[in-house]
């Protein structure tokens, strides 16, 4: 495997960390541990536990506080990914020439380990975890972090660890020098328009993962996206019949050599065949032996909240796909089943068009059960599908209605196509509630 790309030094302190959720807390603590002067602010209230944790680490906490009055004492602003560019302190910093960087950028500069950055609209967590699984199967220590699990700047790693970093558009838009040894673009579909405004702005944020890669780095993408990738990295394609990691004749092929049958994967769905192809492409291109990649693909069972088979109750399979927070992801989930699907949809919208749901619902679903703020919009989009639509309002009523209607051999699928924040603090909390409701069904 190629060597590690040199990191620039950290920007100058003192630091003002804006946003004190998971990433902000991690980066504030990491900077303070290096002896830097750090102030953390948040426009909302922070819990006493967070305040005490940061103050014990030597970080002064101002919350609720927009941070505008604190900017005069800062040499660098570190912006947490959940903070929009329009936040007053961020906008003022940019106007007055104070550097603004993201937590991901700081974490990358702190860690002199090889990085594999995974981005895209759908499949990031599954693919990142699969890449970590492949490395570990090959005897290469691998740590998965970033947008999944531990915040990058909070990682404690050994020198031999490969860091597999899931990266969202919110994280990548605030990178300024980050140049990973390998970067992988899974796909790009309309998402997060409520934050980025246009698909082009969303796309450009994602492509920051590639923008500064040198020639000795690796850039992996579907064939149709290779030409759009910025940067100078060597290009590797996956997915098409003529790609470097090709899918054809019911199998995956690496540069003309058969790797394994697609049916040998434990993951369900055509979209997961592409995720497996992407993971294989980036690891093989980095020099992981083909035998290790093959066996790791055969043994990987997936991640929680992504087409997670929770239980079979009275002959009905219950599947938790709470991580499907956009339309394309929900479409892929519905299409993963031959039919008999009772799909639960809805939550907080992200400016998406829900009409693409109608065709897979018509083909695969017996009924749809609608919840959350987007229920009315999804109802209107699904009317042409010609299946029963039940406006349930919340998840408990939706699971109850689906349970009453489902028959042996059917599937009850939570695949919301929306964010969770109208009724839950996270997609994990929504998925956990679904699991509890299913468990309760099994004991009635």
SS (H, E, C) the chain: CCCCCCCCCCCCCCEEEECCCHHHHHHHHHHHHCCCCEEEECCCCCCHHHHHHHHHCCCEEECCCCCHHHHHHCCEEEECCCCCCCCHHHHHHHHHCCCEEEHHHHHHHHCCCCEEEEECCCCHHHHHHHHHHHHHHCCCCEEEEECCCCCHHHCCCCCCCEEEEECCHHHHCCCCCCCCCEEEECCCCCCCHHHHCCHHHHHHHHHHHCCCCCCCCEEEECHHHHHHCCCCCEEEEECCCCCCEEEECCEEEECCEEEEEHHHCCCCCHHHHHHHHHHHHHHHHCCCCHHHHHHHHHHCCCCCCCCEEEEEECCEEEEECCCCCCHHHHHHHHHCCCCCEEEEECCECCCCCCHHHHHHHHHHEEEEEEECCCHHHHHHHHHHHCCCEEEEECHHHHHHHHHHHCCCCCEEEECCCCECCCCCCCHHHHHHHHHHHHHHHHCC
pLDDT tens column, 367-413: 999 999 999 999 999 999 999 999 999 999 999 999 999 999 999 99
Query: How many distinct structural domains can be found in the chain?
Result: 3
Shared domain for 325 and 394, answered yes or no, is: yes
Q: Is 147 a catalytic residue?
A: yes
Q: Is 122 a catalytic residue?
A: no
Last residue of a domain, one of 299, 331, 357: 299
With 0.75 as the threshold, say if the pTM is over it.
Answer: yes
pLDDT tens column, 95-109: 999 999 999 999 999
Over residues 73-93, the mean pLDDT reads 96
Point out the catalytic residue in the list 113, 122, 147, 187: 147
Point out the catalytic residue in the list 124, 135, 350, 433: 124
Q: Is 272 a catalytic residue?
A: no
Shared domain for 317 and 428, answered yes or no, is: yes
Shared domain for 47 and 154, answered yes or no, is: no
Point out the catalytic residue in the list 79, 133, 135, 192: 192
> Which residue segment(s) compose the domain that 57 sits in?
15-98
Shared domain for 159 and 286, answered yes or no, is: yes
If pLDDT is split at 50, 70 and 90, which confidence band does 440 have? Answer: confident
Last residue of a domain, one of 71, 98, 125: 98
């Amino acid at each position: 495997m190629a060597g590690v790309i040199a990191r620039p030094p950290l920007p100058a302190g003192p630091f003002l960390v804006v946003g004190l959720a998971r990433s902000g807390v991690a980066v504030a603590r990491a900077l303070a541990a290096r002896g830097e002067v750090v102030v953390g602010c948040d426009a909302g209230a922070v819990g006493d536990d967070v305040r005490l944790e940061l103050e014990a680490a030597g970080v002064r906490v101002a919350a609720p506080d927009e941070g505008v009055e604190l900017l005069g004492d800062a040499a660098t602003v570190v912006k947490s990914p959940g903070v929009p560019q329009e936040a007053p302190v961020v906008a003022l910093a940019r106007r007055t020439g104070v550097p603004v960087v993201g937590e991901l950028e700081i974490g990358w500069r702190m860690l002199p380990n090889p990085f594999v950055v995974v981005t895209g609209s759908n499949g990031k967590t599954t693919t990142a975890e699969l890449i970590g699984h492949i490395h570990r199967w090959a005897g290469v220590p691998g740590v998965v972090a970033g947008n999944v699990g531990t915040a990058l700047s909070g990682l404690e790693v050994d020198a031999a660890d490969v860091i597999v970093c899931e990266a969202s558009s919110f994280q990548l838009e605030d990178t300024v020098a980050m140049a990973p040894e390998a970067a992988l673009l899974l796909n790009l579909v309309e998402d997060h328009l409520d934050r980025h405004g246009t698909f082009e702005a969303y796309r450009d944020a994602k492509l920051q993962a590639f923008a500064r890669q040198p020639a000795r780095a690796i850039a992996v993408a579907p064939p149709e996206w290779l030409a759009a990738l910025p940067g100078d990295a060597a290009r590797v394609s996956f997915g098409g019949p003529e790609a470097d990691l090709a899918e054809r004749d019911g199998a995956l092929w690496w540069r003309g050599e058969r790797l394994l049958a697609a049916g040998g994967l434990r993951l369900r769905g055509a979209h997961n065949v592409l995720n497996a192809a992407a993971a294989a492409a980036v690891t093989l291109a980095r020099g992981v032996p083909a035998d290790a990649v093959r066996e790791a693909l055969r043994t990987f069972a997936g991640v929680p909240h992504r087409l997670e088979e929770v239980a079979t109750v009275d002959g009905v399979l219950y599947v938790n796909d709470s991580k499907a927070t956009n339309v394309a992801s929900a479409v892929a989930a519905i299409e993963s089943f031959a039919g008999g699907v009772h799909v639960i949809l809805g939550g907080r919208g992200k400016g998406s068009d829900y009409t693409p749901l109608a065709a897979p619902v018509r083909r695969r679903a017996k009924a749809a059960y609608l919840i959350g703020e987007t229920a009315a919009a999804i109802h209107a989009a699904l009317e042409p599908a010609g299946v029963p639509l039940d406006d349930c309002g919340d998840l408990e009523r939706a699971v109850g209605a689906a349970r009453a209607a489902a028959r042996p051999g059917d599937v009850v699928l939570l695949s919301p196509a929306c964010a969770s924040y109208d009724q839950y603090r996270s997609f994990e909390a929504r998925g956990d509630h679904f699991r509890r409701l299913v468990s309760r069904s099994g004991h009635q």
